[in-house]
């Protein structure tokens, strides 16, 4: 198996000089559109068998019988893995030693904790035989009533929400501020369960060779996956080789190793042959995470001029009965609006569901639609335009921490977004605008924000005598453009043109690139690349400046600039030398450097770090049928330095479409009697198609943030949902005068007697 994957395809647009900032097309685009890109399930090693999971049709109880004999008797079936017949694990799948470790269902017993939980795995010579074998298992259950939804059980305050954040944070005295406020507003918003629905299902091809494990599987976090699997199977992490060059979407659901992936590896061990296991679409509605439902109550206090004095954001959410993931929905209220008294609080219940997990803007997406709705309500209550209300209350320093923002261009986002949209022509009163066909027209807005995070990463850089360079880091491209944007950073870091830069990523044998999550991958892996380039260039410069035969002799490291494969004296750029000449004279074939990245603790102590934005939406509503169409969205986002404007715009579009989806389409419908999701497929689980998204514009607001990292990069993957979902919902209110506080907004919510 080749352990390294690299892309040397030259993109359509290359420019000599600075690669960062160029709108290059995806370097992996041609591979993808021609079908040459290999996704995990495209790998078929010699002797491979097919595994199919049997999953539970009940949500709670135990499996009392499986007809293993019938399955085994089916032609082509090789083995059936059950709690009674499976390889030993080195670690209890229910053990939890850190907050990033989630409990897995690996056939450890006969208990059923949620619908679609794996209860057996059938391995066969063909997918068809394995599928038929799984059906023949005909499980019998001892069923208990399923506990479902936000009122499933007694609620409690979680010890922590998200990853280790406090459930309750207060600044000032919110109750006193509310009691003393001129106006008070209380509104409760509900958001439904949502599922990631990445186009590529979770898949794994696993092959054992003694104690060495090779796997093809989509991963947003290769090093973490290696560590997790090493613990479960009791082997050294370096004995696990994971290839994940391309992901067909992830959105958080491929951030951590999931149970089904581990079952594929166990099945391969059981039968002693390579095994492929791919989830069916419906099997993705259980064991691989989801966005849990929330019920959020906003309590606002403000004066007659619309100045906020109190903000209480309370969120109730749901976790599984056996693990802890609590959607931090109220924490969005820490950042945006400057009330002198702010309280965020959370409570939760446990239900018979698979453990919820990170889903694109976990917490911010759910919290934002409720907060932006309540802000919109408050603006109308004091007769103010929602933009004027936001401008009056938006925070100059982060309200909850009191820290200044590391940089902030939100006012500019509001200004440019509003101007581009034409916001000044909006009526204050709802249900007053119509188009030429008589449809009700509504305009709404929302503020967007997402933290500028960084994790830890490493990279390795090589400069070669032939004038080319290599940059290696185990980065992940789930469609967002990492192959392209990180290669651009690599080329600049090496002082080379992109076509002389080989960028290697997507496998666990390379230096740890951190996790492609938290909108932090470009900043994190990018900074490791930047530093590795600086290291190798410094070594090369030392060779030249210390050699009297070099035109750079005596320049000193600080006095040299790397550009287009040459080092130039900073004080006299006409004096330069090519990389190849320097290495040749030193008798070296190549020279190597290393770099690491991590957040800067002193900058994080001093500043609040966030990206910001403003989204403006237009909807049209059929006054007779209540049918809603989102017809136009304009978003303006300030997210630090833009590495590739084409990729970044595409991320903003993707986020904005999720916003439309959140407001108008997505909803996992739970059967309250069985605890099963009724629409566990892409036909019934609605997401926007092209016809639902007629016009999007994303403005990139220039922002130089010197504090987030040396490159000034903030994330763009998640911010687009925040703001957009609320903007669409607020536009529906403005069109109709009906304030719907649950999502998705359906036409049945809007069928009210028309105003005379």
Give me the residues that bind ligand MOS (CB under 6 A), please.
Answer: 220, 250-252, 255, 358-360, 362, 517-518
**β-strand 61-65 against 140-143: which pairing, if any?**
antiparallel
Give min distance, CB of 752 to ligand MOS, in A: 36
Tell the smallest beta-carbon distance from residue 151 to ligand MOS (Å). 26
Return the number of the residue (226 or 576) whose C-beta is nearest ligand MOS: 226
Q: Phi and psi at residue 127, in whole multiples of 5°?
A: -60, -40
According to DSSP, the residues that pair with 472 across neighbouring strands are 460, 504
- For ligand MOS, the closer CB: 337 or 358: 358
Q: How, if at all, do strands 183-191 and 457-464 pair?
A: unpaired
Q: Min. distance of Cβ 225 from ligand MOS in angstroms?
A: 14
DSSP secondary-structure letter at 690? G
- From the CB of residue 211, how many other CB atoms can be counted at a distance below 10 Å? 11
Closest residue to ligand MOS, Cβ-based? Answer: 252
Q: Among the options 502, 618, 666, 718, which is catalytic?
A: 718
Per the annotation, the verdict on 718 as an active-site residue is yes
φ, ψ of residue 519 to 5 degrees: the values are 50, 30
Query: Where is 213: in which H helix or E strand?
Result: strand 212-216
Integer CA distances (angstroms), 36 to 10, 25, 620, in order: 16, 17, 42
352 versus 718: smaller Cβ distance to ligand MOS: 718
Residue 299, CA distances (Å) to 157, 187, 341, 387 in order: 19, 7, 11, 20
* Joined tokens for residue 389: 């209300």
Beta strand spans in 264-394 (E): 275-278, 294-302, 308-320, 341-351
Q: Which two tokens stand for residue 513?
A: 């690139």
- Helix ranges (DSSP H) in 234-306: 259-271
Alpha helical stretches, state H, 312-439:
364-381, 386-393, 410-421
Q: Up-side HSE of residue 748: CA atoms within 13 Å toward CB? A: 3
Among residues 251 and 302, whose Cβ is nearest to ligand MOS?
A: 251
557: phi > 0 → left, psi -120 to 50 → alpha, else beta; which? alpha
Q: Which is nearer to ligand MOS, 537 or 721 (CB)?
A: 721
Give yes or no for a contact between 60 and 352, defined as CB atoms under 8 angstroms apart. yes
> Where does 424-537 show beta strands of DSSP type E?
433-434, 440-451, 457-464, 469-472, 501-504
Spatial separation of the C-alpha atoms in residues 366 and 400, rounded to whole Å: 19
Q: How far is the CB of 453 from ligand MOS (least distance, A)?
A: 9
Q: How far is CA 581 from the centre of its chain?
A: 44
What lies within 8 Å, CB to CB, of 631 at 6+ separation is 618, 619, 620, 694, 695
Determine how many CB atoms are found less than 10 A away from the CB of residue 147.
Answer: 19
Question: Residues, the chain, total?
Answer: 756
Taking Cα atoms as reference points, which of 186, 428, 372, 391 lies closest to residue 306?
391
Residue whose CB is less far from ligand MOS, 253 or 576: 253
**Rounded Cα–Cα distance for residues 451 and 21 (Å):** 22
Interior angle at CA 150, CA 144 and CA 153, nearest 5? 50
Q: Is 625 exposed, middle or buried (0-12, 13-18, 19+ CB in 10 A)?
A: exposed
| Full 3-state SS string of 97-146 | CCCCCCCCCCCCCCEECCCCCEEEEEEECCHHHHHHHHHHCCCEEEECCC
Phi, psi of 425 (to 5 degrees): -90, 10
Q: Before 7, cis peptide (omega within 30)?
A: no
CB of 299 vs ligand MOS, minimal distance in Å: 28
CA distance 503 to 5: 9
**Rounded to an integer, what distance in angstroms lies between the CA atom of residue 347 and that of residue 363?**
13
> How many CB atoms lie under 10 A from the CB of residue 36?
11
Tell me the catalytic residues. 718
């Amino acid at each position: 198996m080749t352990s390294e994957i690299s892309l040397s395809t030259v993109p359509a647009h290359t420019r000599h000089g600075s690669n960062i900032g160029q709108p290059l097309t995806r370097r992996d685009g041609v591979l993808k559109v021609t079908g040459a890109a290999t996704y995990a399930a495209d790998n078929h090693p010699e002797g491979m068998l097919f595994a199919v999971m049997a999953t539970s049709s009940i949500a709670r109880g135990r499996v009392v019988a499986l007809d293993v004999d019938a399955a085994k008797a089916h032609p082509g079936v090789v083995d059936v893995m059950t709690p009674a017949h499976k390889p030993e694990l080195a670690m209890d799948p229910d053990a939890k030693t850190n907050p990033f470790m989630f409990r897995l269902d690996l056939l450890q017993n006969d208990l059923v904790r949620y619908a679609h939980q794996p209860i057996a795995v059938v391995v066969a010579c063909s997918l068809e035989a394995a599928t038929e074998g799984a059906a023949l298992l005909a499980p019998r259950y001892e069923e208990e009533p399923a506990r479902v939804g936000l009122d499933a059980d007694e609620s409690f305050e979680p010890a922590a929400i998200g990853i280790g954040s406090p459930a309750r944070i207060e600044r000032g005295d919110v109750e006193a501020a509310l009691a003393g406020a001129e106006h008070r507003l209380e509104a409760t918003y509900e958001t439904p369960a949502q599922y990631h629905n990445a186009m590529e299902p979770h898949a794994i091809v696993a092959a054992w060779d003694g104690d060495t494990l090779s796997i093809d599987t989509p991963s947003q976090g290769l090093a973490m996956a290696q560590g997790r699997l090493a613990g479960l199977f009791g082997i050294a992490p370096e004995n696990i080789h994971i290839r994940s060059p391309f992901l067909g979407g992830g959105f958080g659901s491929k951030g951590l190793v999931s149970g089904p992936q581990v079952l594929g590896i166990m099945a391969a061990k059981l039968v002693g042959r390579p095994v492929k296991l791919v989830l069916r679409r419906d099997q993705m509605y259980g064991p691989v995470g989801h966005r849990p439902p929330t019920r959020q109550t906003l309590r606002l206090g403000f004066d007659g001029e619309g100045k906020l004095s109190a903000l209480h954001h309370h969120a109730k959410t749901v976790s599984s009965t056996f693990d802890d993931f609590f959607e931090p929905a109220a924490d969005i209220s820490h950042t945006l609006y400057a009330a002198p008294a702010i309280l965020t609080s959370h409570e939760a219940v446990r239900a018979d569901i698979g453990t919820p997990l990170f889903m694109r803007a976990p917490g911010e997406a759910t919290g934002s639609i409720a907060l932006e709705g309540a802000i919109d309500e408050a603006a109308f209550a004091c007769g103010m335009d929602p933009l004027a209300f936001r401008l009056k209350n938006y925070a100059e320093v982060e309200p909850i921490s009191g820290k200044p923002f590391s940089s902030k261009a939100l006012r500019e986002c509001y200004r440019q977004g509003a101007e581009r949209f034409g916001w000044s022509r909006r009526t204050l009163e709802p249900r007053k605008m119509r188009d030429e066909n008589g449809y009700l027209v509504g305009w709404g807005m929302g503020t967007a924000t997402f933290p500028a995070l960084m994790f830890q990463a490493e990279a390795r850089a090589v400069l070669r005598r032939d004038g080319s360079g290599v940059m290696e880091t185990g980065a992940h491209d789930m469609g967002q453009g990492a192959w392209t944007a990180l290669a651009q950073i690599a080329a600049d870091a090496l002082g080379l043109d992109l076509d002389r830069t080989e960028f290697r990523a997507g496998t666990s044998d390379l230096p740890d690139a951190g996790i492609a999550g938290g909108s932090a991958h470009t900043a994190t892996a990018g900074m490791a690349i930047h530093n590795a380039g600086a290291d190798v260039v410094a070594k090369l410069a030392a060779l030249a400046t210390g050699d009297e035969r070099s035109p750079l002799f005596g320049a000193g490291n600080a006095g040299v600039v790397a550009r287009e494969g040459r080092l130039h004296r900073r004080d006299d750029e006409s004096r330069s030398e090519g990389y190849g000449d320097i290495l040749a004279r030193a008798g070296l074939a190549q020279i190597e450097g290393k770099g690491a990245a991590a957040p800067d603790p002193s900058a994080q102590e001093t500043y609040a770090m966030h990206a910001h934005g403003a989204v403006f939406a237009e909807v049209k509503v059929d006054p007779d049928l209540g049918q809603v169409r989102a017809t136009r969205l304009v978003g303006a986002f300030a997210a630090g330095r833009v590495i590739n404007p084409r990729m970044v715009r595409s991320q903003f579009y993707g986020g904005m479409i999720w916003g439309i989806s959140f407001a108008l389409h997505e909803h996992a419908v739970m059967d309250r009697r069985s605890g099963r999701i009724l629409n566990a497929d892409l036909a019934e689980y609605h997401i926007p198609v092209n016809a639902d998204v007629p016009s999007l514009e994303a403005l990139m607001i220039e922002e130089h943030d010197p504090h987030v990292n040396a490159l000034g990069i903030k994330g763009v993957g998640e911010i687009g949902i925040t703001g957009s979902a609320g903007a669409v919902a607020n536009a529906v209110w403005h069109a109709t005068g009906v304030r719907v506080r649950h999502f998705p907004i359906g036409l049945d919510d809007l069928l009210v007697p028309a105003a005379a």
